[in-house]
Amino acid sequence: MVKHTRYENKKVLVLGLALSGFHAAKLLHELGAMVTVNDSKELADNPDAQELIASGIRVISGYHPVDLLDESFAYIIKNPGIPYSNEMVQRALALNIPIFTEVELAYEIMAASLIAITGSNGKTTTTTMVHEILKRNRKKGVAHKAGNIGIPASTIAKEAPAEDDIIMELSSFQLMGIDTYHPEIAVITNIGSSHLDYHGTREAYVEAKWRITMNQTAEDYLVLNWDQEELRELSKTAAAQIVPFSRIEVVEQGAYVLEEWLYFKGEKIMPVDAIGVPGSHNVENALAAIAVAKLKGADNESITEALRAFGGVKHRIQYVTEVAGRVFYNDSKSTNITAAQTALNSFPDKSIVYLAGGLDRGNSFDELIPAMKNVHTIIVFGETKERLSDAAEKAGIPTIIETETITTAVPLALDNSQEGDVILLSPACASWDQYKNFEIRGDAFIDAVHALKHEQEEG
């Protein structure tokens, strides 16, 4: 860990706990800051807050008192999920208090090399692919993954020495709170339209994503999806060296597909059909991962071994099991229409029973219609079930079933399927109407599928 003095003897407010806030508070305390934590959860139900109090950190819990900001804080470390429209955050902005997220704090103490990955879709898969490649056949150091993937960045940054690599997944929420954050290699897998309820406009969302490269220089690399015209245009504003990847054309200075092989700068790396997960989107993820790996000096054997063995990411078009000749896939991480389109298009030669639904953000699902061409049955649940039913009717899907939860949807899927079908959970919605997060939603699906399999085998 590089000892940083920015926070020493400074009053710092950690706004919102969760995993990142908890570890940020501990690190700030270690760095000599005068830390106050403010979390909305009541103290009695907040073991993390109780642990911080026991270690000598001040905690105010149960509500967000705006007048707390009258205490002249030098900095705020904000939980990424708290929107900038929040009353406390608005007051802090009016007082010109710098607001960071935990990834900025992690970067400031980091000795290891930093690879940062973002995108509307594919960032978790690409982060995991890069990690799997870079941890193979290393001559020195260790490869770590961290960030939005579920591992607080500061916990890794504290321990990783200079010869290590940290591969960090970043959300747009986290990128809103960076200042000096400077990756050696940055990746944008793609840009769609996500989290507009948080950012307000698509322009603001894109601007947040583009912040990943704001401190890069001509000595750094920016890996971009060259199949998106928007990213080509944005690349003209970047200071870093652009390394493109493309699934549909040869890009000589980057990674591409040619005659069913993956290439990097003219070098044949591996066959497309050797990638261990299905779908054209995973070809793009693999190309991005190959570009990063080659920039870091990885050999082709390590790349091929890692991508051949890659079984996917939990909750991202994750193979669950087969029941009575039907194959179940869990894509609970699909919290938007673009992600669901990707999942549906991953099985071009299969008949699909489609499970979808969740939090209602007021949007139409008509954009899903072209991707539902192989769906013969749709089972919808949650707040959006009526909107999804409307889209399914327009798509001409023969069987439309409304139900309450994922748990009730699974047996209905089996009853309305045929041998050889894919049964796909890809909600196209956030989980918060019924489930605390997409992981819990996905686990509920997995549990229901395994219960169904057990019932079939016992019966």
pLDDT attached to residue 362: 87
Binding-site residues = 119-125
pLDDT reading at 2 higher than 90? no
Q: Put residue 200 in one of left, alpha, beta given phi > 0 → left and psi -120 to 50 → alpha.
A: left
- State both tokens at 344: 């549906």
141 pLDDT tier (thresholds 50, 70, 90) = very high
Task: Answer positive or negative: Cα dihedral of 400, 406, 408, 412.
Answer: positive
CA distance 23 to 181: 18
Q: How confident is the model at residue 459 (pLDDT cuts 50, 70, 90)?
A: low
pLDDT score, position 107 = 97
Mean of pLDDT over the chain = 94
pLDDT tens profile 329-365? 999 999 999 999 999 998 988 999 999 999 998 889 9
Angle at which helix 18-30 crosses helix 47-54, to 10 degrees, equals 0
- Domains of the chain by start residue, with CATH: 11-100 (3.40.50.720), 103-309 (3.40.1190.10), 318-458 (3.90.190.20)
Q: What is the pLDDT of residue 114?
A: 98
Mean predicted confidence (pLDDT) in 303-309:
95
Residues 360-374: tens digit of each pLDDT: 988 899 999 999 999
Q: Which residue has the tokens 């099991």?
A: 321
Residue-wise pLDDT tens digits, 36-71: 999 988 988 889 999 999 999 999 999 899 999 999
Return d(Cα 342, Cα 412) in angstroms, integer: 24
Residue 155 backbone zone (phi > 0: left; psi -120 to 50: alpha; other: beta): alpha
Give the whole-angstrom CA distance, residue 159 versus residue 14: 22
- Can you give the three-state secondary structure of the chain, one letter per residue? CCCCCCCCCCEEEEECCHHHHHHHHHHHHHCCCEEEEEECCCHHHCHHHHHHHHCCCEEEECCCCHHHHHHCCCEEEECCCCCCCCHHHHHHHHCCCCEECHHHHHHHCCCCEEEEEECCCCHHHHHHHHHHHHCCCCCCCCEEEEECCCECHHHHHHHCCCCCEEEEECCHHHHCCCCCCCCCEEEECCCCCCCHHHHCCHHHHHHHHHHHHCCCCCCCEEEEECCCHHHHHHHCCCCCEEEEEECCCCCCCCEEEECCEEEECCEEEEEHHHCCCCCHHHHHHHHHHHHHHHHCCCCHHHHHHHHHHCCCECCECEEEEEECCEEEEECCCCCCHHHHHHHHCCCCCCCEEEEEECCCCCCCCHHHHHHHCCEEEEEEECCCHHHHHHHHHHHCCCEEEECCCHHHHHHHHHHCCCCCCEEEECCCCCCCCCCCCHHHHHHHHHHHHHHHHHHHHHC
Distances (CA, A) of 175 to 17, 147, 196, 288, 446: 18, 11, 15, 20, 32
- Angle at 63 (CA atoms; ends 60, 64), nearest 5 degrees: 80
Q: Across-strand partners of 327?
A: 322, 422
Q: What percent of the chain has pLDDT over 70?
A: 100
The β-bridge relationship of strands 165-169 and 113-118 is: parallel
Residue-wise pLDDT for 162-178, tens only, equals 999 999 999 999 999 99
In this prediction, residue 235 has a pLDDT band, given cuts at 50, 70 and 90, of very high
Q: Residue 270: beta bridge partners? A: 262
372, amino acid identity: M
Higher pLDDT, 318 or 142: 142
Angle subtended at Cα 84 by Cα 81 and Cα 87, rounded to the nearest 5 degrees: 105
Structural contact between residues 41 and 49, judged by C-beta atoms closer than 8 angstroms: yes
pLDDT category of residue 458 using cuts at 50, 70 and 90 = confident
Residue 396 CA to its chain's centroid (Å) = 32
Q: What is the pLDDT of residue 19?
A: 87
**Percent over 90 (pLDDT), the chain:** 85
Q: Is residue 108 over pLDDT 90?
A: yes
Q: Which of 261, 188, 264, 268 is nearest to 226 (CA)?
A: 188
Which residues carry a binding-site annotation for ATP? 119-125
